[in-house]
A and B are shown apart, each in its own frame.
Chain A
Amino acid sequence: MANLPPAEEEDLEAIRAVLSGDDEAFRPLVDKYSRSIFNLAYRMTGNAADAEDMAQEAFLQAFARLGDFRVGSRFHPWLYTIALNLCRSHLRRRSLPRWLASPREREEEGREPELSERSPDPEQAFLAREAEEGLQTAVASLPVKYREVFVLRQSQELSYEEIAALLGLPLGTVEVRLFRARRLLLKSLEASNLRRAKKRAK
């Protein structure tokens, strides 16, 4: 196994240890990849609490299915696949007709302030938060197929090839979806900027 890069070698050793009965050996895998999986789920769903639940579920499923993991493949993409499927189920479920109205969902989406705590000025902080909520709403309004490619590229910074492999898509399709996602996002951001500017002008 000397030909594997050290990071993968580490993961593989942890996996072997877990499979021989050492549950604690799973912890370094969780520590290493939880932030990435959580951020993927957050950007896909727009809800940090749901994203945290989904990240937990992803690791539990990975643990339960560890016997299916093949030596020579990489753990992180495998984990991404599990997380993406959880996101898809979650999003499909959210689109089911419910007698509880969608205004509540819209209320919950994007209500996460923590990314913009750099500025001490309260008004600036407020504007920054508003802008980030606007961004997350715009991302959450992308069609799911575009959103996946977009989030994997922009938030997880995967290459076209990695995204293509992960989603089982040709490179060309990845590029088209990414372009459309970016264009839709830009339009959405411009529109909400305009709305906010008009509101403030009143």
Chain B
Amino acid sequence: MASNPCRHPIEGWLHKKADGRLSPEEAVAMEQVVGSCPACAERVALFEWAGKTLRGQRALPVGFSDNVLRRLAALRSPGRLRERPKTALYWLPAAVSALAVGLVVFSVFIFRGRAPLEAPSVQVELKLAGEKARSVAIVGDFTGWDAVAMRKGEDGVWKTRLSLPPGRYRYAFVVDSDKWVADPQAATVLDSGYGGADSVLDISL
């Protein structure tokens, strides 16, 4: 059964049913269709199976929290919690929801712009020497994996300066828009999972 030759609006019904918005009349109509149209019955079964499977939550391997806590030790605790003045407590219920939406929307805006506005940053210079290349770019977590061109100094070394808040970043150099090269000076190199290697930059304050 290719597309939907039976023309029953089963997808619309399933969508509404999944969100608890199926009207009683629609529910009756849907039941009738399921009883008479095998293709639709199959679609319903498939959809409901998918929903049930997706609700299942996979367990994390044991030790996840330990690993996170261990890695935390490499990062310094950030600054003070920003408190609103105590008088705001009286408007707390309304203020909480407004602020929650505001913070989330604000955070989304910050993340779209790649760098958090107020976290303290550290200056870092990354270099690549000994490459006979027409161009070298850097790609990484901090560029959103877009290629950013590096500059070749008079000493023939390709360089780029970054200003980054604390954290762990993966990156690589791209030579002549074509060849991915790990940073020979990186202290840590990790398998990228795609057959190559990512250099790792750990920044702490």
Q: Is the CB of B194 within 8 A of A104?
A: yes
In this complex, which of A48, A96, A157 has the most chain B Cβ atoms within 10 angstroms of its Cβ?
Answer: A96
Q: Is the CB of B58 within 8 A of A115?
A: yes
Q: Is the CB of A104 within 8 A of B195?
A: yes
Which residue in chain B gives the minimum CB-CB distance to A151? Answer: B54
Q: For the complex, is B156 an interface residue (Cβ under 8 Å from A)?
A: no
Interface residue from B15, B49, B68, B100 paired with A77 (Cβ < 8 Å): B100
Q: For B77, what are the chain A residues with a Cβ–Cβ distance below 8 Å? A: 18-19, 21, 23, 63, 66
Q: For the complex, is A3 an interface residue (Cβ under 8 Å from B)?
A: yes
Q: For B67, what are the chain A residues with a Cβ–Cβ distance below 8 Å? A: 56
Q: Is the CB of B60 within 8 A of A34?
A: yes
- B117 smallest CB distance to A (angstroms): 8
Q: For B118, what are the chain A residues with a Cβ–Cβ distance below 8 Å? A: 67-68
- A197 smallest CB distance to B (angstroms): 11
Q: Is the CB of B54 within 8 A of A67?
A: no
Which residue in chain B gives the minimum CB-CB distance to A47? Answer: B193
Using known A-B contacts A4-B96, A19-B77, A186-B43, determine if residue A115 contacts B141 with beta carbons closer than 8 Å. no
Report the separation of the CA atoms of residues A42 and B109 in the bound assembly, to the nearest whole angstrom.
24
Q: For B96, what are the chain A residues with a Cβ–Cβ distance below 8 Å? A: 3-4, 72-73
Report the separation of the CA atoms of residues A31 and B48 in the bound assembly, to the nearest whole angstrom.
30
Using known A-B contacts A34-B65, A165-B105, determine if residue A186 contacts B51 with beta carbons closer than 8 Å. no
Interface residues on B, range: 35 or more
Q: Is the CB of B11 within 8 A of A182?
A: yes
Tell me which residues from 71 to 129 in chain A have a Cβ below 8 Å from any Cβ of chain B: 71-74, 77-78, 81-82, 85, 89, 92-94, 96, 98-100, 104-105, 108, 112, 114-115
Q: Is the CB of A72 within 8 A of B92?
A: yes
* Mask: chain B, 79-91; 1 = CB below 8 Å from A; 0 = not: 1111110000100
Interface residue from A100, A165, A179 paired with B100 (Cβ < 8 Å): A165
Q: For the complex, is B36 an interface residue (Cβ under 8 Å from A)?
A: no
Tell me which residues from 86 to 114 in chain B have a Cβ below 8 Å from any Cβ of chain A: 89, 92-93, 95-96, 99-101, 103-105, 107-109, 111
Interface residues on A, range: 35 or more
Report the separation of the CA atoms of residues A155 and B165 in the bound assembly, to the nearest whole angstrom.
31
In this complex, which of A94, A99, A114 has the most chain B Cβ atoms within 10 angstroms of its Cβ?
Answer: A99
Q: For the complex, is A178 an interface residue (Cβ under 8 Å from B)?
A: yes
Tell me which residues from 32 to 78 in chain B have a Cβ below 8 Å from any Cβ of chain A: 42-43, 46-47, 49-51, 53-61, 64-65, 67-69, 71-73, 75, 77-78
Q: Is the CB of A26 within 8 A of B72?
A: yes
Q: Is the CB of B69 within 8 A of A48?
A: no
Q: Is the CB of A73 within 8 A of B60?
A: no
Q: For the complex, is A198 an interface residue (Cβ under 8 Å from B)?
A: no
Q: For A115, what are the chain B residues with a Cβ–Cβ distance below 8 Å? A: 53, 56, 58
Q: For the complex, is B18 an interface residue (Cβ under 8 Å from A)?
A: yes
Report the separation of the CA atoms of residues A89 and B140 in the bound assembly, to the nearest whole angstrom.
9
Q: Is the CB of A73 within 8 A of B100?
A: yes
Q: List 16 A-B contacts (CB under 8 A).
A: A15-B81, A38-B60, A47-B193, A49-B193, A57-B168, A61-B167, A64-B78, A100-B194, A139-B54, A182-B11, A182-B18, A183-B11, A186-B50, A187-B3, A189-B46, A189-B47
Interface residues of B, Cβ cutoff 8 Å to A: 1, 3, 11-12, 14-15, 18-19, 42-43, 46-47, 49-51, 53-61, 64-65, 67-69, 71-73, 75, 77-84, 89, 92-93, 95-96, 99-101, 103-105, 107-109, 111, 116, 118-119, 139, 141, 144-145, 165-168, 180, 193-196
